[in-house]
Structure 1
Amino acid sequence: MDTVFSDVVKDVISQYPLKVETIYLLSYKGKKAVWSIATDQGEVIMKKLPMIENDIKFMIHAIDYLRNGGIYTPGVFKTNSGEGYVEHEGEYFVVFEAVYGRNPDYEIEEDMRMIMRGMAAFHKASKGIESPTGEFPSFLLLESKEEMERRYQKLVNWKEEKSKKSEKNAIDKLFLKYVDTCLEQAEKAIAMLANPYFEQWVEETKINKTLCHQDYASGNLVIGNDNNLYVFDMDSLTVELPVRDIRKILNKVMKKETAWNLEKFKNMMKYYQEVNPLTKEQYQILAADLQFPHLFYGQVSKYYEGRDAKWPLRKHFDRIKDMTATELSKDAVLQSFLSQLDEVISHGA
C-alpha cells in the first residue's frame, strides 16, 4: 500500500479502540477508498467518503435509525471520543462492521423476494426520520418531475442537433431512428405526473420523510451468513417517494431480460406490497416514472456527454440498442400491469 495512504489510514484507525494487525486496500477511486483492516476485534471496513460533515452526520444517524427499525446494515464503530467518523485534512473516514455472505441473484426467485421485501422494509423503517443537524443531504421529491423535464429537453436538443449533421455516425442514426418514440414516452410520463395525487404524496412525504437509498441493487446488498439481507453504501440517501428506488430496481432487472416481463414485474411488486403496501394512486405515480425512457436517456447521454469516453463506438452502439429494445417493450406490459393492479394490491400487508 502507498506509504502516504498507509500513514493516513494508521493515523485514522489509531483514533479507534482497535488494535490493528493488517491493512489491505480494497478499492481506490480518487475521492472514495475502501480498506479492510484486521484488528483484535475482527475485520473492520474503513471508507473514505466524499461528503461534507453534516451529510456524514446524517448518514450515521440514518444507519442507527434504520437498524433500530429492523434493517440489517453494517454498524458504525465509534472513535475513542465517541464520534462516528474521523476528519483528516478535510477528508472524512468511517469504520464499519464487516459482513460476510453473497450478493443476491436476480434470477433466483427467493433472492428477488428478499430484495423487494428488503426494499419495502427499508422504506417503511425510514419513515419519520429527522436530521440531527436540521439539514438533509438530499431532498429530491418535486425535483423528480423537473428532472424528467430537463431530460426531455435534452433529448429534443440532441434530436435537433443530430438531425442537422451532414455526416451522421452509426449512433446518431440509431438515436434518430428511435428518439421520437422515446420522446412520446417522456411526454406521456410528464403528463401522468400532472395527477393531483402526485403533489399530495410529495407534501405527505415532506412531513413523513421517507428515504430512498438510490442504488438498492444486488451490488449493494449481501445475503449474510445469518441469512439476513444487508444493505450497504448509505452515502446517497435522499428524502423521496419510494417509487424512485422501485423504478431503478425494475429497470435493472428488466434490462437483463430480452424484454419487459409482466409476470416478473407483478411478482416483484407483490413481494414489495407484502411489507409496505402502496395504493392504486401511488402505483399510478410509479407507472409515470416507469413510463419515462430513463434507460434510453441514460445510455444516450453517456455517449453524447462524453462519459465513459474510453468505450469504443461499438460498445456505446450496442448498449443504446439494448436499452432501446427494453424501452420499446415496456408500454404494453405497463398497461397490462395497471389493468391487473387489484391482483397486486390484494397482496398488501
Structure 2
Amino acid sequence: MIDEQYKKRIEQNHKDLLGVLQHYPVEPGKITLLPSRGGRSKWLIETDKGNMFLRLETINPKRMLFIAGAHWYLQQKGFPIAKLIPTRNGGLCLSGGNHIYLMTEANEGKGVQYYEREEIMKTMGFIGAFHKASVGYSPVKGSKKRTRIGKWKKLYQWKIQELESNMKLAMAADANDTFSQLFIEHADQMLKRGKEALKELDQPAFSDWTRETMESGMFCQQDFTMARMIMKDNQVFMKDLHSITIDLPARDLRILMNKVMKKLSVWDRDLAYDMLQAYDQVFPLKKEYYQVLLTDLKFPHLFCGLAHKYYLEQKKSWGDEKYLMYLRNIIAVEQSKQAFLADFDQLISRVKGGVS
C-alpha cells in the first residue's frame, strides 16, 4: 500500500512538473530529479533546444524577481553565466505561490578547485568582472531588494555582543568541553580585533564607498563560493545565481579569501597578494577602499561564525571532534593572518603599483 501511494505521488509530481514546463518555450523529453538541498529542487530536462535545468526554490516571489532580474542583467551584458530562459510570456521566473521556478541552460564543465592556484586567480578576476558588470542594475518593478549596505556597524556590534555572550558560556562550561577550553584561550584576541574593526568603520573611506556603491546600483553575489562555478573553455563560468545583495564588493572578496585560506589551513600572504592583484587588474579599487577590506578581514567572522554554530547547536550532525577540528583550523588561519594584516598597506601599494 505504501509503495502504491509513493508511486501515485511520483506520478502526480511528474504531471505537475509537465504543467510547469508548458509555460516554457521548450518541448521536454526525459526528466531527471537531481540531488539538492536547502529547500530547493532541481531537475535536468532534456528538450528540443538542448539540456535545461529547472530549479524550484521556496522564496518570496518578489525577492526571487530581484535575483532573476540581476541574472538577466548580467546575461544581457555578455557576462559568462548560464542563460536564463524566460517563460513563453516573457517572465524571468514562474511563481507557484510561496515557491518559484527558474529555467536555465545546463552547462557542463570541470568544477573550480580551491587548491589550483591558476583557477583561484581566474576566479578573482571573475569576481572583478562580476562586480564591474553589476554596475547600473536597476531592479525590475515589483521586485524586493536585499541589501546589507549601511548595516555593517550593526552587524559587527551584534557579532561582538554574541561573542562576549559565548565567552561567558565557555567559561561556565564543563572542564571536559575541549571546544570551550580552546575557544576561551583565543577569544580575547579575537574580541580585541573585532572591536578595533568596529572603530575603523568610522573612516571616511567606508562612508564614501557605501555612498558610491548605492549610487552605482552594484551588487554582490553575497556568498561567493567556487561550488557555483565551473571551468568552461578554460575560463570561469557561473552555472547559477542563487542570491545577490546590495553591498560593498569587499564582502565577496573577504568571503572567498577566507574560504581559500581555510582550505589551506594557513593564511598564505603571497597567495593573498596575488589574489588581490588578479582582482584589481579587472576591477581596480581606490587604494583607500582596500582599507575597508582590511577592516573586514580583521574582523573575526570565521571565529564568531563557528562559535555561533557550536553554542546554538546548529549542526546536529557534527560531533565534538568535528567542531574541534574546525576551531583549530580557524585559529591557525586567524593567527597566520596577523602578519598579512600588519603588512597590508605595503601589499596594497604593490597591488596599485604605487598609485593611490
The two structures have a TM-score, normalised by structure 1, of 0.94
1:118-197 matched pairs, under 5 angstroms: 118-133=126-141, 135-165=143-173, 167=175, 169-197=177-205
In structure 2, what is the Cα distance between the partners aligned to 1:95 and 1:157? 44
Partner of 2:223: 215
Which AA in structure 2 matches 1:26?
Answer: L
In structure 1, what is the Cα distance between the partners aligned to 2:215 and 2:143? 14
In structure 2, what is the Cα distance between the partners aligned to 1:198 and 1:208? 15
User: Which ranges of structure 1 fall in alignment gaps of 5 or more residues?
Assistant: none
In structure 2, what is the Cα distance between the partners aligned to 1:134 and 1:32? 23
In structure 1, what is the Cα distance between the partners aligned to 2:224 and 2:274? 17
Q: CA deviation at 1:127?
A: 0.8
**58, 62, 65: which one pairs with 2:70?**
62
Q: CA deviation at 1:89?
A: 4.4
Q: Describe the SS at the equivalent of 2:83.
A: coil
**262, 276, 288: which one pairs with 2:283?**
276
The two structures have a TM-score, normalised by structure 2, of 0.92
Which AA in structure 2 matches 1:262?
Answer: R
Show CA shifts across 1:59-96 (max 9, x none).
22211211233311111112222222222343210110
Most deviating of 278-287 and 29-38:
29-38
Contact 2:149 2:246 in 1 (8 A): yes
**334, 350, 353: which one pairs with 1:346?**
353
Q: CA deviation at 1:138?
A: 0.8
Q: CA deviation at 1:305?
A: 1.2
Q: Describe the SS at the equivalent of 1:67.
A: helix
Which AA in structure 2 matches 1:57?
Answer: L
In structure 1, what is the Cα distance between the partners aligned to 2:225 and 2:292? 21
CA 1:44/1:134 → structure 2, altered by over 3 Å: closer, same or farther?
closer
Q: Describe the SS at the equivalent of 1:263.
A: helix
Partner of 2:3: none
Show CA shifts across 1:188-240 (max 9, x none).
2112212122112111211112110022221011111x333212432320111
What is the RMSD of the two structures over their aligned residues, measured on CA atoms?
A: 1.9
Contact 2:34 2:43 in 1 (8 A): yes
What's the % identity of the aligned pairs?
A: 28
1:306-317 matched pairs, under 5 angstroms: 306-317=313-324
Partner of 2:274: 267
Contact 1:216 1:231 in 2 (8 A): no
Contact 1:205 1:240 in 2 (8 A): yes
User: Is 1:247 paired with 2:254?
Assistant: yes
Show CA shifts across 1:172-193 (max 9, x none).
1111111111111111211221
In structure 2, what is the Cα distance between the partners aligned to 1:317 and 1:166? 15
User: Is 1:256 paired with 2:263?
Assistant: yes
Which AA in structure 1 matches 2:336?
Answer: S
Which AA in structure 2 matches 1:318?
Answer: M
Q: CA deviation at 1:167?
A: 4.8
In structure 1, what is the Cα distance between the partners aligned to 2:37 and 2:16? 16
Give the total of aligned pairs: 347
Most deviating of 24-33 and 149-158:
24-33
Most deviating of 100-109 and 293-302:
100-109
In structure 1, what is the Cα distance between the partners aligned to 2:247 and 2:270? 27
Most deviating of 129-138 and 200-209:
129-138
Show CA shifts across 1:285-334 (max 9, x none).
00000001111111111111111112111111111111111111111112
Partner of 1:326: 333
Q: Describe the SS at the equivalent of 1:49.
A: strand
Most deviating of 15-24 and 135-144:
135-144
**244, 248, 251: which one pairs with 1:237?**
244
In structure 2, what is the Cα distance between the partners aligned to 1:89 and 1:177? 49
Contact 1:262 1:337 in 2 (8 A): no
Most deviating of 285-294 and 87-96:
87-96
Q: Describe the SS at the equivalent of 1:182.
A: helix
